[in-house]
Structure 1
Amino acid sequence: MDVAQSPPALSLQEGASSTLRCNFSTFADSVQWYLQNPGGRLIHLFYVPSGTKRDGRLNATTVPAERCSSLHISSSKTTDSGTYFCAVQHSAPQAPAASTQTLRGLSPSSSHSHTVRPPQGICSA
């Protein structure tokens, strides 16, 4: 199974919102999202086999028929900085596949930074 995430890296202004996308090549039994913070700690964010789950400023949506999942971050904070992992598992006998995205050091709202707007569809390119 191939797993691809986009964008591979981005920087946001504190308070901005963005969506990270995960596309996979075959039907998935489960999709999980993780964050590895700059200190190296791995944090499990969501288990989303299908539908949408929300936790505070984060929500994750998986659409199995479209072979995609997305993680939306609202009102970003500096504590959101780190590497985001999308892990996808298929019931066929093979190892789980994963891909990564890095959300680089969020800048205070007073400084200049590139802001990425969320896409119209959850899995659109």
Structure 2
Amino acid sequence: MKRLAGTVLGLLFAQVCCVQGVDMEQSPPALSLQEGASYTLQCNFSTFPQSVSWYLQNPGGCIIHLFYIPSGTKKDGRLNATTVPKEGRSSLHISSSQTTDSGTYFCAVQ
């Protein structure tokens, strides 16, 4: 059976948190994945963090650590994370999305 490139693969969800006085917000709150498309998730925080980590909780419930990134840019395959502490933001870019990218994404600030 042929698969359409526009087939919805799953949903990405972002979490909003407040940890130890650090307000942070992720956007977008939810989106539908399309196979082969690219997506960027943004994490904004109110204070300068010591570090930022990105996680994925897959549909089976397993939490996977994707990146530890205090500042700068890191790349791992189709995933690319950037943190700019002075601007209070971090982003996670997913290129050429696949079914394994479905799940809930978390940005954690320490």
- Residue 32 of structure 1 pairs with residue 53 of structure 2: yes
The equivalent residue for 2:89 is 68
Q: Percent identity?
A: 82
CA distance in 2, matches of 1:77, 1:60: 17
SS of 1:79 mapped into structure 2? helix
- Residue 49 of structure 1 pairs with residue 80 of structure 2: no
**Deviation, structure 1 residue 12:** 2.1
Aligned residues: 89
Where does structure 1 lack aligned partners over 5 or more consecutive residues?
A: 90-125
Deviations 1:19-58, CA, capped at 9 Å, x for gaps: 0000001111100000000000000000000000000000
Contact kept, 8 Å, 2:26 with 2:44, in 1: the verdict is yes
Paired AA for residue 73 in structure 2: T
Structure 1's consecutive aligned runs of 4 or more residues displaced over 3 angstroms after TM superposition are none
Contact kept, 8 Å, 2:43 with 2:91, in 1: the verdict is yes
CA distance in 1, matches of 2:69, 2:106: 13
TM-score between both structures, scaled by the size of structure 1: 0.71
CA distance in 2, matches of 1:45, 1:13: 21
Paired AA for residue 63 in structure 1: V
Question: Between Structure 1 and Structure 2, which shows a larger proportion of strand residues?
Answer: 2
CA distance in 2, matches of 1:44, 1:18: 18
SS of 1:4 mapped into structure 2? strand
CA distance in 1, matches of 2:81, 2:65: 12
TM-score between both structures, scaled by the size of structure 2: 0.80
Where does structure 2 lack aligned partners over 5 or more consecutive residues?
A: 1-21
Contact kept, 8 Å, 2:33 with 2:102, in 1: the verdict is no
Cα RMSD over matched residues? 0.4
